[in-house]
Amino acid sequence: MIYLDYAATTPMMDVSIEAYCAAAREAFGNTSSLHDEGGKASFLLESSRDVIAKKLGVSRDGVIFTGSGTEGNILAILSLARAGDGKHVITSSAEHTSVHAAMNTLEREGYEITKLPLSEQGIVDVELLEKSIRPDTSLISIQHVNSEIGSIQPVLEIAKVARKYNIPYHVDCVQSFCKLDVTEFSKYVDAITVSAHKIGGPKGCGAVYLNPRRRILPLFPGVTHEKGLRGGTVDTPAVYAFATSVEHYQYDINKFWKLRNQLKASVQGTNCYFIEADEAHQLPSICGMCIKGAEGQYVMLRLNEEGICISTGSACDINSKSGTKAILAMGRSLSEARTFFRISFGIHTTEEEIQQLRNALIQIDQEIKTMK
């Protein structure tokens, strides 16, 4: 089986599995307990918090461990928005499903949500964003890297606009953490969401940074763990494995550009094409693609028959019938959106696998032409 769905999840690294097992055996205590076993677990937890904070370039006091990137997004958005005085939030039409879920909750509470479109290259227009700001704007939430097409948003420029108007800014960095340098903007934003399983860590573990200097309204009042922002006994083994992944994960951007360019060149002359940004705004390991006349789900199923795993977009959107949000946000038609599928590379992807993918895509393209 050729696995090309790393944007959905990654296999755990051996070193992270070993870290998880060691922590589960040797630091099984509750981090809030005052005895020695609790202290041992607490030491691992706080050491892991230091690792995440250092990689993010933020204060450790603002790092809260969560059960997922989804939980982190919802926790950050609702906590910050509800703490503000206004009832207006700015986001984009192409955010992760969890962000839209949080926005839907705020709408039911009387908030007005402005969802910005993407440009033809999948980028948010910073000028349009600034024009959308109102006196009652209480939050901006724009992702760093789009999970469907891999476009990189101008986070630093957005952060400067947010600071100009003293508006909290949340950034979903689930797809970019440990792949791009988030320290370029982390000190200018108020919330950052990350996840372990995108970088060789365990599923069911993530973290959110919430600026300690910002007023925050806890989502679950009265809980005691994680500074009162996230209840429940902390999964110390998962957190320790997450921190281990952060320390060992390596993103070879040159390798991924080479693989992307190899795939792009190999399908020239066919009905296969890429949905992408310019090189400066593109994460190379996420390839949004279409085959004219072929449903994305058909392509995914045919490739699965050939032993190749891909997706038709974000795994959290798998039941959506409207196509990928990114393409629609770019102004593309619904019919084109339904032809979308996503290839995503990881540390184990090889040139030989891309060649096999290329052969399979060409075969599918020929099948579609024959059907017509």
* Rounded-to-integer distance, Cα 365 and Cα 299, Å: 9
CA distance 192 to 211: 9
**DSSP type of residue 316:** G
Catalytic residue among 178, 272, 287, 316, which?
316
Residue 316 designated active-site: yes
Cβ atoms of residues 318 and 349 within 8 Å: no
Residues 236, 240: Cα–Cα separation, whole Å? 6
Bridge partners of 177, per DSSP, are 180
* Closest C-alpha to 124, from 360, 321, 329: 329
Rounded Cα–Cα distance for residues 249 and 179 (Å): 9
Decide if 73 contacts 207 (C-beta within 8 A). no
Nearest residue to 70 via CA among 100, 45, 92: 100
Q: Extract long-range pairs of 360-366: CB within 8 Å, 24+ residues apart.
A: 360/302, 360/303, 360/306, 360/308, 361/267, 361/270, 361/272, 361/291, 361/299, 361/303, 362/267, 362/270, 362/272, 364/291, 364/294, 364/299, 364/302, 364/303, 365/267, 365/270, 365/271, 365/272, 365/291, 365/294
Residues with active-site annotation: 316
